[in-house]
Amino acid sequence: MKMTGADLVIRLLEREGIRLIAGIPGGANLPLYDALSRRPVIRHVLTRHEQAAGFIAQGMARSTGRPAVCLATSGPGATNILTAIADAKLDSIPVVCITGQVPSGLIGTDAFQEVDVFGMSLPVTKHNYLVQSAEELLTVIPEAFRIAISGRPGPVWIDIPKDVQLAEIAFDAWPDCGQADPVPEPRDEAATEAATMIASAQRPILYLGGGVIHSGAAEQAVELAERSHLPTVSTLMALGAMPTDHPQYLGMLGMHAAPFTNLALEECDLLIALGARFDDRATGKVAEFCPGAKVIHIDIDASELGKIRMPTLAVRADIGRFLKDLLPILPEDTRPRWNARVAELKTAHPMHMPGADDPAMPYGLIRAIARHAGRDAIVATDVGQHQMWTAQAFPLCRPRQWLTSGGLGTMGFGFPAALGAALSEPGCPVVCISGDGSFLMNNQEMVTAAEAGADLKVIIFNNQSLGLVHQQQTLFFGKRLIASKFQHGPDFAMMARAMGMEAVDLAHEPDIDSALARAFAMPGPVLINAPICVQQQVLPMVPPGGANRDMIRHTPALA
């Protein structure tokens, strides 16, 4: 077989199962696009910004669990997509980013649209490549997919000079497709040790992290909670691993947790951490997190074991593989005293959701969105108050239903990620809950959504501010508000219509619930503008650097 390097890349991507790619062409990756034009197997989605292409790929990967691909050109194309790849790294998302680079002979000469993509992407990828020859592509492409999906997933970046794309290559056989490496086997005695610790604990709590989702082990984790009647908490990234209405579920832990959740963790004597990395937003002041608890920590990434909290029992293993060993040997236990104590904490320190029945209020709006979207809807958020309100109140019931930027906390993530989910899961309702500040960072993709005919609904919690910045300035900076309140905000409904989307503005609707029903009944992408009061705060909130027990439960100014 004989073909150019660019043709080879596209054919290898087809063999890896890629059927949709988001990106933007430019001078350095035009050979790749020319090759793409000759192979109708892969659909291309032309975004209006490279960062959005990276987030669309993330939306596809997060909602399906399969690796996704994005394309960009050299120079500004690569720098624009960098944030999306850094976001994927921190949340362990398998994305393969392919960029064009200036011809090999010009690298290092400050050529037009040249940047050191290899050096720039090194800290924010699981692995990266600067391809030196067309022959290397036969190895690099399958290996990139293998690395992206093996162990702890993550992004891989492939930078391909233009001359490599144009070079001709002859080869005899196709390489094998990228396959995930075998998962590490837990130590023979690890499950027995864990079972002994769980059986002897008086006040254990199960702590679910994003690794449970990546492992596909949510069902087994729920079985563990049910078998030993373990009160269960989850990180932001693990939401959906256990249904929110499950009797053992205590909700999200940490900075914006229910008071009873953090207080139960204060009393636990054994913390069973599955695929969690003890992030500061979950633990608060780590020296005071679960102060009297022993810790069992299971993670596929050995570097996470003992990195922040030293475990009593550390096991490097895939979560699902470990639970396969643990569940058959773990004795059943109803734990009546501990569960009764947790019930007491729920009664004494409940989660207050003011306005939960009023769709003009944040919690009420989220509950109304959930009713109209349906139980199985994919929910993407941007970053800020709306994200935390949604995490607290949306009734999530399954893995990969929840798409949010956790580790990097990237404003502008939600809308393109939701678009990626809508394109990859066309039969599933998709909702994006955003804030006016976040939405403005990638609002240009309304054109992309309209052009693609994506079936998604975008709800903007519009308080004319950077809400979480405004809240922190109010609570922790003496109400000295600077650069957090917008002096002028756009007419979002008019913007949407100008870009080809339908729109509903709740500011002009006498019956909000009926207006939401009408909006959700519309086909294709629809924007819903939802004005909210800037004084509304997402509470409880642990002060930055504080212990989780020191939650602010009421707004001082409004108490």
Tell me, rounded to whole angstroms, the distance of Cα 1 from its chain centroid.
40
Tell me, rounded to whole angstroms, the distance of Cα 99 from its chain centroid.
23
* Cα–Cα dist 389/307, whole Å: 30
Q: Decide: 152 and 307 in contact? Cβ < 8 Å.
A: no
137-157 burial, b at 16+ Cβ within 10 Å, e below that, comes to: bbebbbbbbbbbbbbbbbbbb
Task: Give the C-alpha distances (Å, rounded to integers) separating 378 from 59, 62, 391, 514, 522.
Answer: 10, 10, 13, 22, 17
* Cα–Cα dist 200/189, whole Å: 17
| CB atoms inside a 10 Å sphere around CB 52 | 31
Q: What three-state secondary structure class fits 71?
A: strand
Domain assignment present for 502:
yes
Task: Give the C-alpha distances (Å, rounded to integers) separating 153 from 95, 133, 239, 347, 468.
Answer: 9, 27, 18, 40, 30
Domain assignment present for 196:
yes
* Cα–Cα dist 482/479, whole Å: 9
Are 441 and 315 members of one domain?
Answer: no
In sequence order, what E strands does 61-126 have?
68-72, 95-101
| CB atoms inside a 10 Å sphere around CB 110 | 9
Are 438 and 522 members of one domain?
Answer: yes
Are 382 and 322 members of one domain?
Answer: no
Are 163 and 210 members of one domain?
Answer: no
Domain assignment present for 548:
no
Joined together, the tokens standing for residue 194 give 């864990």
Provide the CATH number for the domain around residue 372.
Answer: 3.40.50.970
| Whole-number pLDDT of residue 558 | 45
Task: Give the C-alpha distances (Å, rounded to integers) separating 44 from 71, 132, 296, 408.
Answer: 10, 26, 45, 27
Domain assignment present for 456:
yes
Are 231 and 366 members of one domain?
Answer: no
Tell me the whole-structure pTM to 2 decimals.
0.97
Domain assignment present for 353:
no
Contacts of residue 200, Cβ cutoff 8 Å, sequence gap at least 6: none
Are 454 and 376 members of one domain?
Answer: yes
Are 202 and 100 members of one domain?
Answer: no
Domain span at 254: 190-348
Helix axes 259-267, 336-348, angle to 10 degrees: 140
Domain assignment present for 355:
no
Are 344 and 366 members of one domain?
Answer: no
Peptide bond between residue 429 and the one before it cis (omega within 30 degrees of 0)? no
Are 230 and 103 members of one domain?
Answer: no
Residue given tokens 């959740």 in the structure block: 261
Domain assignment present for 179:
no
Are 205 and 342 members of one domain?
Answer: yes
Helix axes 190-200, 319-326, angle to 10 degrees: 70
Task: Give the C-alpha distances (Å, rounded to integers) separating 301 from 13, 126, 316, 342, 403.
Answer: 27, 12, 7, 32, 22
Domain count for the chain: 3
Q: Decide: 518 and 504 in contact? Cβ < 8 Å.
A: yes
| Whole-number pLDDT of residue 556 | 65
Provide the CATH number for the domain around residue 321.
Answer: 3.40.50.1220
- What's the sign of the alpha-carbon dihedral 18, 21, 26, 31? positive
Burial class (CB within 10 angstroms; exposed 0-12, middle 13-18, buried 19+) of 112: exposed
Joined together, the tokens standing for residue 376 give 């199985």
Q: Decide: 101 and 79 in contact? Cβ < 8 Å.
A: no
Beta pairing partners, 313? 296
Are 30 and 126 members of one domain?
Answer: yes
Are 148 and 277 members of one domain?
Answer: no
Domain assignment present for 283:
yes
Domain closes at, from 319, 348, 377: 348
- Ranges of the chain whose pLDDT falls below 70: 556-559
